[in-house]
Structure 1
């Protein structure tokens, strides 16, 4: 039996990394067999619901100190690795600051140490803190890779954010795209009508959507400004926002301040995103940075036109109605572009050849290689 310690998961619902890790767990267990792989997880909080879920896979959830207490975290990870002899540590992180567990694994002699990058920037609300974190990240990036034996990224851009060029240009680095279930995320005209009826949205309403964590990276002030410009020109328009996060309340205040309360719907965290995409007419992602947005891939699979900021890697484009705009052009220009592209036949949207990279079967093979290499 191969024993793997995986980090870092939040509550199982926090975002792209959590979604990826739960998919990783399910896929590897199904492909390798429940008796051949034992997989435990690291987290920095207490999550009862997640602990119960993981118990169904015979997986332990270890709560360790956050990076605010790096020495304590190092000692805790060393203790976990001492008590149970893991064959592999697989660390999924967003910045090089998350290097403590990797060096603990190296210190304890874990033979396989895989590091997987899922971002391309520091997601921090405070400008001062973000500046400080960027400096610390750049310093840690100089030596973080020395703790690893294998390296992955959800995109080339994410890999370059975390690892030096000598790593990303080598055979030790591999891109693992965030695959989605094509059957689940498939456009269905009848389902579109059903969901819009549930949400009480008239047929002539232009519905712009956004799904994600309410955080700095997603650039909500810009998103709301864009929708405000759209709504001025087309009153029969609506913005659907799904997700949760630290900026949720401040975004609600901004929406109210702009008088958009009747036109903006806050849907909360949802597990039925595939249904919500059906009701939308366009997905808007004006992110300040991304590793590779899973919601962007999901939405494109439902043939939903998408407008992304050009800070998002073009590796995310898998259909012919996906557009990239500079944030520097401003909300008014974005709104004009959206209104120019509001009329289309969704059934005519075509996936590109790059969509195969996001196929579940292709990803299953990659995930098998992670644990069976």
Structure 2
């Protein structure tokens, strides 16, 4: 089977890194097209031996990209096209149809209650989304919560398949050596208490709450934010105004998997360097960073995480939902710091999200799409 994955960009983000990990486990010949931003994940895919093509789209209204993508699909002789993220789903589904490929699958990574990949869910966005969705065979939801959101939008249940994001859990096991090296690399003393956050530095992630909580915490607490984005300078400014700039470290984008020639700690080492992960984002489609932190044996504070909330409470006893702002996070962080370090036990929830299992489920979707049928919605 020859499959083409079409994605909006390949910077360091949850959907992008999930695609790279997934391709390591899919028993299919896969190529990737990125509409824009062939960033660090593109380099990682190329290092894995995946052919990556940059379409070079120029803005949201670059209609010339459509015939270019259509020609690429037609000339590649692909059996199936799999699209990821809003713009790529629109362009990819139309181009696949124009190229004569009927087996089209999409994964919905980032739909919230009120926003889709950061954009407000206006009637126009919803109408365009649904028009494009009808051109595919199956839409994969990364959690039961996302599946319900899609049905609420008007996507027929028979067209939805729930396949949760997956992780390579053994890679995230706590590593004492990696912890020491990562802390030394970023100038974090070995005896300080490190609060971590992982994700794009954008408004929806609400990392500002963690910066504002920092002055309410003892002086031996540090904040380690892993990610890049438009709010980086704003977060630095708030930290300066609050007098805690010397207690905050911003690493920029860090890959899920180590890249050749990159000496900086990867995400796995950075999670080992943390004592707790905080995820204040109020709208998540899955909550990949939370699951990765749980795989590292970390306690987790979160505002919204379908990956945890869709499971029984006993599946992730170290994950606690926080309602409120900076003061609420400060209270919970003080409680965890006082409780002392845990034993880094990996909870049962992590084993529900195995990337190899997700890849097998996706191959079932591919087989059904090629046969011209849909699989009924299921849960993880």
**Class of the TM-score when normalised by the shorter of the 2 chains:** 0.7 to 0.9
Q: Helix, strand or coil for the counterpart of 2:229?
A: coil
Q: After TM superposition, list the pairs within 5 Å mapping 1:200-349 onto structure 2.
A: 200-202=187-189, 204-229=191-216, 231=217, 234-271=218-255, 272-310=266-304, 314-315=309-310, 319-326=316-323, 329-342=324-337, 343-347=339-343, 349=345
Does the alignment pair 1:357 with 2:341?
Answer: no
When the two structures are aligned, how many residues end up with a matched partner?
Answer: 351
Q: After TM superposition, list the pairs within 5 Å mapping 1:1-373 onto structure 2.
A: 2-11=1-10, 13-28=11-26, 31-32=27-28, 37-45=29-37, 50=42, 53-54=45-46, 57=49, 59-66=51-58, 68-69=60-61, 71-93=63-85, 95=86, 98-120=89-111, 121-124=115-118, 130-131=119-120, 134-162=122-150, 164=152, 167=155, 169-170=157-158, 172-189=159-176, 191-193=178-180, 195-197=182-184, 199-202=186-189, 204-229=191-216, 231=217, 234-271=218-255, 272-310=266-304, 314-315=309-310, 319-326=316-323, 329-342=324-337, 343-347=339-343, 349=345, 351-352=347-348, 354-373=349-368
The alpha-carbon distance between structure 1 residues 356 and 173, as it changes in their structure 2 partners (threshold 3 A), is: farther
Q: What is the CA–CA distance in structure 1 between the aligned matches of 2:219 and 2:133, rounded to whole Å?
A: 52
> TM-score if structure 1 supplies the norm length?
0.82
Bigger relative CO (Cα 8 Å, ≥ 6 apart): 2
Q: What is the CA–CA distance in structure 2 between the aligned matches of 1:168 and 1:319, rounded to whole Å?
A: 32
Unpaired segments of 5 or more residues in structure 1?
A: 125-129
**1:66 Cα offset (Å):** 4.9
**1:202 Cα offset (Å):** 4.1
Q: Helix, strand or coil for the counterpart of 2:161?
A: strand
Q: What is the CA–CA distance in structure 2 between the aligned matches of 1:275 and 1:48, rounded to whole Å?
A: 18
